[in-house]
Amino acid sequence: MEIVPNILFVVALAAGIGYFSANVRKLMRNIRLGKTVRVDGPVSQRWKNMARIALGQQKMVVRPVAGILHIIIYLGFVIINLEVLEIIIDGIFGTHRIFAFMGGFYDFLIGSFEILALLVIVSVVIFWLRRNALKLQRFWKPEMKGWPKKDADWILYIEVILMTLFLTMNAADLRLQELGSAHYEMAGAFPVSSYIAGWMSSWSESTLILVERGAWWLHILGILFFLNYLYYSKHLHILLAFPNTFFGRLTPQGQFNNLESVQKEVALMMDPNADPFAAPAEDTPPPDKFGASDVMDLNQIQLLNAYTCTECGRCTSECPANQTGKKLSPRKIMMDTRDRLEEVGRKLDANKGNWEPDGKQLLDDYISREELWACTSCNACVEACPVSIDPLSIILDMRRYLVMEQSAAPSDLNVMMSNIENNGAPWPFNQMDRLNWNEEN
């Protein structure tokens, strides 16, 4: 009978990791629906960006209050997971505090975990107050209604529960150590849970064992639940921030990419020695579609961006179009892209991997043309994002589709492009008449 808990633990661990692996495969399948893209630039710089932005949280502290609180929770998430490793080993082999042999270093680790756990709880409470009591404007935009608002709060509740279970488990463990209960040898330092243990001084040994074992099981099961909840949550960025910052753009933010087929055509037109009637080279077929109207037209890095979005709203709060009351919200662009990609993924699952058009697309059904044309292309959203997401690239690709596939640019823009084509400038004046204003003076 003593081995039954170990068997149950292994089953729970295998089920949790198995379901997580299935979600990872689904995630990768969905991202691969996008077009492949060439990743240029020095790899060393990409590693540096990942270490600096994802691991070092450099862009988070641009806003000090949120940045410092986020770093505390981030460190708690990373470091306390070392304690999870001990729980997994103990659960599989039936041991208790398997790393206790490290002596003073183990005491330091457990003490550090406890202090971090307390700091995480304090940080989460402050985050909750900022969202729900102070009601910071960026958390109450229209796209944050419904599930996004609930998701953000549930994540905070889950983090508090996990940290509370960890401290409760340690408090009961400490009392059992002091009572000399079997298997509970003296190990660890408990600067926080020792105060909780004081409230348990009158509890019987059987009650303490029940509390310690209950908190231990709920803590590890809660972690497995949280791991699998990530796929459905904005907290997927915990895992994807690293590849996303690695594949982030290295070119200057004001530099737009050119369509290769158009670039070659323009170069051909400007070549005085080129034959304008020559057939195009067979190795450079024109693209099936200019720009993007649905998620399959975007590239894989853009789809990775969508899944990485933290929904923090820094991009939207920095967006000049949004600040002046325009409908555009860069955060909504990323959320809509992810929602549409998830919808496409569900259709693929239902049709056993075969795609059948559903009469919907990212353009118009999720993102309106008004939003796209409200963008000033200033790159403020790109600069503000703490994990190197580029909403502007999606906006520009969808604009390209409207202009080059549907000729559906706003009238002012169409006039400007016609003037450039006919007069070589955006103004409606012939080149020979440009200096007439000077003669009038």
- Give pLDDT tens digits for 327-370: 999 999 999 999 999 999 999 999 988 888 899 999 999 999 99
pLDDT at res. 414: 82
178 vs 186: CA distance, rounded Å? 8
Query: What average pLDDT does the structure give for the chain?
Result: 89
Structure-token pair, residue 17: 């990791």
- For the chain, the domains span 4-246, 260-276+283-423
- Quick one: which of 400, 327, 419, 308 has its CA closest to 367? 327
304 vs 206: CA distance, rounded Å? 50
pLDDT at res. 169: 93
Region 416-440: mean pLDDT is: 77
User: Are 149 and 114 in contact, with CB atoms under 8 Å apart?
Assistant: no
- Measured torsion, CA atoms of residues 405, 409, 415, 417, in degrees rounded to the nearest 10: -50
- Band the pLDDT of 398: cuts 50, 70, 90: very high
- Percentage with pLDDT > 90 across the chain: 59
Has residue 69 got a pLDDT over 80? yes
Region 407-417: mean pLDDT is: 84
The residues facing 299 across adjacent strands are 35
Q: Of the CATH numbers 1.10.1060, 1.20.120, 1.10.10, 3.30.70, which one belongs to the domain with range 260-276+283-423? A: 1.10.1060
pLDDT at res. 247: 94
163 vs 28: CA distance, rounded Å? 31
Has residue 203 got a pLDDT over 70? yes
- Band the pLDDT of 296: cuts 50, 70, 90: very high
3-state percent breakdown (helix, strand, coil) of the chain, nearest 5: 65, 0, 30
Structure-token pair, residue 415: 């006039």
What tens digit of pLDDT does each residue of 260-280 get? 777 777 777 777 776 666 666
Structure-token pair, residue 75: 């460190």
| pTM for the predicted model, two decimal places | 0.88
pLDDT at res. 437: 67
Backbone angles phi, psi at 160, to 5 degrees: -65, -45
H helix runs in 50-146, sequence order: 64-93, 104-132
257 vs 255: CA distance, rounded Å? 7
Q: Is 7 exposed, middle or buried (0-12, 13-18, 19+ CB in 10 A)?
A: exposed
Has residue 258 got a pLDDT over 90? no
Range of weakest confidence among 7-21, 144-158, 181-195: 181-195
| Contacts of residue 282, Cβ cutoff 8 Å, sequence gap at least 6 | none
| Contacts of residue 402, Cβ cutoff 8 Å, sequence gap at least 6 | 291, 363, 369, 372, 408, 409
- Quick one: which of 75, 96, 79 has its CA closest to 87? 96
Q: Which amino acid is at 202?
A: S
pLDDT at res. 278: 64
User: Are 203 and 16 in contact, with CB atoms under 8 Å apart?
Assistant: no
Q: Which amino acid is at 241?
A: A
pLDDT at res. 118: 93
Q: How far is residue 380 from each of residues 249, 308, 377, measured CA to CA in Å?
A: 15, 18, 8
Region 19-40: mean pLDDT is: 94
- Percentage with pLDDT > 70 across the chain: 95
**Collapsing DSSP states into helix, strand and coil, what is residue 287?**
coil
210 vs 173: CA distance, rounded Å? 11
With the C-alpha atoms ordered 406, 407, 409, 410, is the resulting torsion angle positive or negative?
A: negative
401 vs 293: CA distance, rounded Å? 6
Has residue 41 got a pLDDT over 90? no
Region 36-46: mean pLDDT is: 90
User: Rounded to 5 degrees, what angle do the CA atoms 39, 43, 46 make?
Assistant: 85
User: Are 37 and 300 in contact, with CB atoms under 8 Å apart?
Assistant: yes
